Structure 1
Amino acid sequence: MGNLCGKESKDNFEGQGRTLASAPAPKTKATIPSSVTINAASTPKRTVGGPPRTLGDANIENDPKAAAAAAAEARNNRSSSGDLQKKLDAQKRQTNTQTLQQAANENRKAREADQATETRNYN
């Protein structure tokens, strides 16, 4: 089955063919930018150094886990003075019973509003 609404695909084998020998020759050298000079004396000598470490010794400055933990602590300890932040802080300080009481009060107010609407719309 074919695609009913699609376009006809181009056939890669249409037109004139060519033999393997007629393909263009591949480049043998890579081009070097003119800004680069080829001089063994001008290339800086690379050195590997630093204090020796023992196997398993974790480098605290470069440890990704320690960096992520420090960033999370910094975000957690940062305080903002916005209204939403104050409301969020108040919610965090609530105990479980206070949270349940607040939810019960909201449900009661919603029921009272529904009852008032029903009374007002009584025919």
Structure 2
Amino acid sequence: MGNICSRSSNETDPFTQPGRVVGAGPSDRNAAPRAPVPTKTNWKATPGRTLGESNGDGSAAGTDEARANAAIAAQKRAESASANKGKLGAKLAAQKAQSHAQTLDQVSRTERAARDADEAEAARRWN
């Protein structure tokens, strides 16, 4: 698309212009304007301020209020997410609430029920 979309007012390809010899200094014909070098300043003359320090206009108080509002909103989101967990979420919460002994007892009951079912199946087959 390069030549189709370009206008004649565009600059020509930089490789078609004559170049300079390797090792020669930079060309001054297209020198871009440079920003002035800043004067030396004594940075240690003014003490820095600590994070969270107010700068006189009460902006630190505003950030504390914003933080508190964000924390309250996050707490409300967490509470609403835990309240609407549905059927599987309720089962998971009940499982997490079990103690170690209760969990082992439940596993033991499940295994006993499986063994009883296997024994009943063997009795039906007359083994």
Under a length normalisation based on structure 1, what TM-score does the superposition of the two structures give?
0.36
Query: Quick one: higher RCO (CA 8 Å, sep 6+), 1 or 2?
Result: 2
- TM-score using structure 2 length: 0.36
- Please state which structure has a larger fraction of its residues in helix: 2
